[in-house]
Structure 1
Amino acid sequence: MLECSSVRGGIFFIAAFSGYLSEVRYVHMKIKFLGVGSAFTTPEYYQSNMLVTARNGRQLLVDCGSDIRFSLRESDDPDGDCVTDTSLQEVTPADEIDAIYISHLHADHIGGMEWIAFKTYFSLNPKKPKLFMERKLMHRMWKKSLQGGLGFIEGKLMHLTDYFDCRPVPEGGSFGWECLRFTLVKMPHVVAGYENHSSYGLLIEDSESHGSKVFITTDTQFRPGLIGKIGKKVTSIFHDCETSSLKSVVHAHYDDLCTLPSALRKKIWLYHYQPHPARQPEADGFRGFVRKGQEFEFPPLF
């Protein structure tokens, strides 16, 4: 039996041969977790950023935290020593990123944006990665987080559009990328009066509605009603999960997630947890804790 895995630049497939072709399984996207930890995690877990790979091999980065230069390198070379590049001109996995999605403005989700902006701008083959974000959030990110470091280079004033092909998305809207459709879902994260710090989760599906529907919460408080409604529409959920002894309230806590209906828990993978969680998610009806570097394949539903 010969097993053929994904081929970069083509449709993903796994074919099993036993003298003749017996099975071909197409995969319309992959999601790889570069990290699965909370903001204050360790290299054993890395921050919760992800790579979505379309069936043609192009990659979309979901969030770009402060340890992205390490997690990207390690993901590309898991057996290497994860030495970061010493030159802006050195080709790295960052140069292969076609697009970026940012969910909200905490550093474990945008702390690597200055690095990736300079890295791609000064590359030997410079390009502008597509940048998808909720419209107002994109403006705030530039004005309140990135402009101080990226607002100028020698001899030139710079704007966000000099580094990225900006594709702002209206609240509640969606965007298309490589035959996939991403719908933004506003999730409560940090509530502070009229200055709420929301995070925008992603509902991902094949643009022709033939594929598995997946939901990534990004950072969120525990909202059973909201996640229950979404759970009826999707096949898999990747849910923010706090495992600390004290509840922060701004992240859904493991103990609270255990109160969800069993049918919903069966769809849920947990991520964004603290190091060395002393929990047994499978025994509690979940799919499990996502591991750093774990990759999920989603085939079409015929």
Structure 2
Amino acid sequence: MSLQIQMLGTGSAFAKTFYNTSALIRSNEMNILIDCGATTPRSLHEIGVQPDQIDGIIISHIHADHVGGLEEIAFRLLYQYKNKKTKLFLTESLAGVLWENTLKGGMYNPADGFSRLEDYFEVILIEENVPTSIQPGLTIEFISTLHIPHKLNYSLFINGRTFYSADTQFNEELLVQEIVNKRNCHTILHDCQLSGNGFIHATLEELLTLPDYVQERVYLMHYDDDMMNFVGKTGSMTFIHQHEVIEIPE
């Protein structure tokens, strides 16, 4: 089975041009979302994918640019598609804070029987650091990475050899030793803050310190609206663009 990943958005939390960073893992048999920011439903509409065609949603962390579109997806599945539930893949720890700290305010409706995350989604809890088959031909592994101190945050290995950072601070040891030297990942999709200090994201300046053999595997995402000013200044790394599609070997 041929798998592809299509970027629904490639922008930072504050980007307006490129939408919030999220992606769609696609094949003839499945559509699996990675995160669902506020702009994700609009981007899905632009590529002709409706909520009832989504087979599952993977959640990396609870910042609004990664989960702000979940309420719309859930309500559309409930009201437009007759209470169809899609799968929601996340860790047990993340499931609690996603509902209590993010979704409950708008979606809590006990009078009609909606008082839990499970009332809207088929919640599938995934263990950290355990490769888990979530669809035939698709394995996901959640690994904890540092984004904001003391807040849950995960990056992903997709079928063992594609790394998707979601949001994370720069971690040279993880990128060089674990992702490339040990796992031999052929593709790295990494968030990139183009300028300024990297308090919560890897910066372009930091990523440019990576060896060329690592940079050659890196697609840069989660960037600001001034991305065009940095074209040709990314070493051996490549910007990935909204709606661009790349292959993911099984």
TM-score when scaled to structure 2?
A: 0.92
> How far 1:299 sits from its partner (Å)?
4.0
> How far 1:99 sits from its partner (Å)?
0.2
Worse-superposed segment, 254-263 or 146-155: 146-155
* Aligned counterparts, 1:146-165, within 5 A: 146-152=103-109, 155-165=112-122
> How far 1:256 sits from its partner (Å)?
0.6
CA contact (8 A) 1:98 1:130 kept: yes
Following the alignment from structure 1 to structure 2, what is the Cα–Cα distance between the partners of residues 57 and 262? 36
Following the alignment from structure 2 to structure 1, what is the Cα–Cα distance between the partners of residues 200 and 114? 37
Unmatched runs of 5 consecutive residues or more in structure 2: none
Equivalent position to 1:167, from 124, 127, 130? 124
Following the alignment from structure 2 to structure 1, what is the Cα–Cα distance between the partners of residues 222 and 8? 11
> How far 1:170 sits from its partner (Å)?
2.2
Aligned to 2:31: 59
Q: Decide which structure has the larger Cα Rg and report it.
A: 1
Following the alignment from structure 1 to structure 2, what is the Cα–Cα distance between the partners of residues 221 and 198? 13
Aligned to 2:213: 263
Aligned to 2:20: 47
What SS does the corresponding residue of 2:5 show, helix, strand or coil? Answer: strand
> How far 1:150 sits from its partner (Å)?
0.9
Equivalent position to 2:167, from 219, 222, 228? 219
CA contact (8 A) 1:62 1:102 kept: yes
Number of residue pairs matched?
245
TM-score when scaled to structure 1?
A: 0.77
Question: Which structure is higher in RCO with an 8 Å CA cutoff and minimum separation 6?
Answer: 2
> How far 1:157 sits from its partner (Å)?
4.1
Matched, 1:205 2:159: yes
Following the alignment from structure 2 to structure 1, what is the Cα–Cα distance between the partners of residues 198 and 186? 29
Aligned to 2:145: 187
CA contact (8 A) 1:231 1:237 kept: no
CA contact (8 A) 1:135 1:171 kept: no
AA at the equivalent of 1:231: V
Q: 1:32 to 1:282 in 2, by over 3 A?
A: farther
CA contact (8 A) 1:281 1:289 kept: no
AA at the equivalent of 1:103: S
Matched, 1:298 2:239: no
Q: Percent identity?
A: 32
CA contact (8 A) 2:114 2:120 kept: no
CA contact (8 A) 2:52 2:81 kept: no
Aligned to 1:97: 54
Equivalent position to 1:134, from 91, 100, 113? 91
Following the alignment from structure 1 to structure 2, what is the Cα–Cα distance between the partners of residues 50 and 106? 16
Unmatched runs of 5 consecutive residues or more in structure 1: 1-10, 12-26, 77-91, 207-212
Worse-superposed segment, 220-229 or 152-161: 152-161
Following the alignment from structure 1 to structure 2, what is the Cα–Cα distance between the partners of residues 38 and 134? 24
Larger helix proportion, structure 1 or 2?
2
AA at the equivalent of 1:230: I
Following the alignment from structure 1 to structure 2, what is the Cα–Cα distance between the partners of residues 46 and 203? 23
AA at the equivalent of 1:242: Q
AA at the equivalent of 1:202: L
RMSD of Structure 2 on Structure 1 (CA): 1.7
Equivalent position to 2:5, from 10, 17, 31? 31
Following the alignment from structure 1 to structure 2, what is the Cα–Cα distance between the partners of residues 30 and 298? 5
Aligned to 1:280: 231
CA contact (8 A) 2:128 2:141 kept: no
